[in-house]
């Protein structure tokens, strides 16, 4: 036997695995252990909390410490397919230029996962079941013990986790990193997504199409030096700013919690899209970790972020975020916050004439009329929180109108066309503050608002999304209907930390 193939995600190595693999090598003295680290390009998630390169380093440390003859290979993440075992064999053959060519005649597969065992058995490989059928602790059970143990994790894994693996976890702070990922309230899926109902292809296209327009509105307010984009999405804001000559020597930091977006940032960096700029990306929830020291940043940028903090974490965390930004900025530094916003008079009642002729009354979401889509949105809007939208159908001057607050109407109009991510959009609150309320909040936190601060109305949005679907009225003192003027759709807040 030439090879002992040991496939798995390998987030850690147990003492039993080391003993067992050594016994297999003793039975097959010419064999090397081939560690296939699967999902290697998939890290920072609850399914794969330890990045692939760190897992490879961990295995190399354990192999060196225990004198276990080993070869280690990173295998990219793939959706489940019946031929995954074949893919692993061929990927290793390709990575080594066919010098490691495994086959049923020269390879024993060590594996304890029944589904994976079945894949290799179909190819004719002999199997050693490792922990399967024993009382031995499996690696993922040790990971779960680390998650639950907090600072006392080393005591919980003593004797179970290979000593070299414990040292490696200690050296790189991996236990704390794993615990942080599992305690992050923003990540609600195994794959590290903020929401499982968001279509990221659509989201990316919309974000990058609009980024140049938004950046052009605030780029002059950016202070050179250490510039952080919190919730950087695909890194497009950083790319645009890094092209400005006056910011050439600045350090740009992108912080993004959603794995799909973070991976796009890293890929763009690998592609050279940021040129010679100093650009660094972190996959982090900035509310869960302190990435930057107090009084250390010149500019903090947040685009379309604060409404997500409000929606997914709540008001208390939003207020804490405002305080954290103030602390991180140097005196004289600025926070540039560009986001959706509630209309002026958001609590006032209005009457909306919603089109019932631009679609059907019942059917697929994409085919519904504005009025029918509104009724669905009123039920779905933040339904998990028990919010919904309160409205009343009223007949005035022979027309059936919908009476509701101006803020609730704008919630619907801003989201009604995003049917690819309907439930994600319906979960998010846009209109919780008006521009004036935002200014009052930031001033109460110690910021001084600069002259760049202003509410913004997106004319395209009003013309193509709002006015085509609804006509909005208020009632005058005599009961007569008066058409309501369209309010703001966004706000640009440029808040400075005082020099003193």
In contact, 56 and 40? CB cutoff 8 Å = yes
80-98 mean pLDDT: 91
In contact, 85 and 122? CB cutoff 8 Å = yes
Q: Which helix (H) or strand (E) holds 281?
A: strand 278-282
What is the pLDDT confidence band of residue 484, given thresholds at 50, 70 and 90? Answer: very high
244's CB contacts (< 8 A; 6+ apart) are 219, 222
pLDDT digits (tens, 9 = 90+) for 2-17: 999 999 999 999 999 9
The whole-number pLDDT of residue 319 equals: 96
Domains of the chain: 3-182 (3.40.50.620), 200-340 (3.40.50.150), 349-490 (no CATH)
Long-range CB pairs of 346-349 (<8 Å, 24+ gap) are 346/405, 346/406, 346/407, 346/410, 346/431, 346/434, 347/405, 347/406, 347/407, 348/405, 348/406, 348/474, 349/403, 349/404, 349/405, 349/406, 349/474
275-294 mean pLDDT: 86
Looking at residue 344, the DSSP 8-state letter turns out to be T
453's CB contacts (< 8 A; 6+ apart) are 439, 492, 493, 494, 495
In contact, 368 and 334? CB cutoff 8 Å = no
pLDDT digits (tens, 9 = 90+) for 124-182: 999 999 999 999 999 999 999 999 999 999 999 999 999 999 999 999 999 998 998 88
pLDDT greater than 60 at residue 198: no
The whole-number pLDDT of residue 341 equals: 97
350-377 mean pLDDT: 95
The whole-number pLDDT of residue 164 equals: 97
The whole-number pLDDT of residue 196 equals: 46
pLDDT greater than 70 at residue 199: no
Greater confidence, 213 or 288? Answer: 213
Helix/strand/coil for 126: strand
326-354 mean pLDDT: 96
Query: pTM of this prediction?
Result: 0.69
Around Cβ 312, how many Cβ atoms within 10 Å? 18
pLDDT greater than 60 at residue 463: yes
């Amino acid at each position: 036997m030439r090879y002992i193939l040991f496939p798995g995600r390998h987030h850690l190595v147990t003492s039993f695995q080391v003993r067992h693999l050594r016994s297999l090598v003793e039975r097959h003295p010419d064999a090397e252990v081939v560690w296939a680290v699967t999902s290697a390009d998939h890290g920072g998630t609850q399914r794969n909390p330890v990045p692939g390169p760190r897992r490879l380093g961990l295995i190399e440390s354990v192999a060196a410490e225990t004198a276990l003859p080993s070869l280690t290979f990173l295998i990219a993440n793939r959706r489940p397919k019946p031929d995954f075992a074949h893919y692993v064999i061929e990927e290793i053959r390709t990575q080594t230029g066919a010098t490691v060519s495994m086959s049923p005649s020269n390879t024993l597969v060590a594996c304890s996962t029944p589904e994976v065992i079945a894949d290799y058995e179909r190819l004719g490989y002999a199997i050693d079941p490792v922990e399967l059928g024993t009382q031995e602790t499996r690696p993922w059970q040790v990971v779960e013990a680390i998650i639950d143990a907090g600072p006392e994790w080393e005591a919980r894994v003593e004797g179970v986790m290979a000593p070299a693996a414990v040292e490696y976890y200690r050296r790189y702070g991996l236990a704390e990193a794993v615990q942080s990922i599992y305690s992050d309230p923003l990540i609600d899926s195994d794959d590290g997504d903020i929401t499982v109902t968001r279509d990221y292809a659509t989201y990316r296209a919309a974000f990058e199409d609009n980024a140049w327009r938004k950046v052009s509105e605030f780029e002059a307010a950016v202070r050179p030096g250490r510039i952080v984009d919190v919730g950087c999405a695909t890194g497009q804001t950083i790319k645009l700013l890094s092209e400005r000559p006056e910011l050439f020597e600045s350090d740009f930091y992108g912080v993004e919690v959603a794995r799909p977006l973070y991976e796009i940032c890293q890929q763009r960096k690998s592609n050279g899209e940021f040129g010679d700029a100093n650009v660094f990306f972190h996959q982090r929830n900035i509310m869960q970790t302190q990435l930057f020291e107090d009084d250390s940043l010149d500019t903090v940028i947040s685009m379309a972020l604060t409404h997500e903090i409000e929606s997914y974490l709540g008001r208390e965390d939003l207020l804490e975020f405002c305080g954290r930004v103030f602390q991180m900025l140097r005196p004289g530094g600025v926070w540039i916050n560009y986001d959706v916003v509630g209309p002026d008079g958001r609590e006032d009642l209005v009457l909306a004439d919603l089109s019932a002729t631009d679609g059907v009354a019942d059917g697929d979401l994409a085919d519904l009329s504005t009025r029918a889509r509104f009724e669905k949105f009123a039920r779905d809007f933040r339904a998990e929180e028990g919010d919904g939208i309160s409205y009343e159908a009223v007949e005035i001057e022979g027309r059936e109108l919908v009476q509701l607050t101006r803020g609730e109407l704008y919630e619907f109009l801003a989201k009604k066309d995003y049917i690819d991510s309907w439930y994600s959009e319906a979960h998010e609150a846009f209109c919780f503050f008006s521009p004036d309320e935002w200014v009052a909040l930031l001033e109460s936190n110690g910021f001084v608002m600069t002259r760049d601060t202003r509410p913004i109305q997106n004319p395209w949005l009003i013309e193509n999304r709002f006015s085509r679907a609804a006509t909005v009225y208020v009632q005058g003192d005599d009961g007569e209907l008066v058409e309501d003027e369209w309010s703001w759709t966004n706000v640009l807040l440029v808040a400075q930390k005082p020099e003193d």
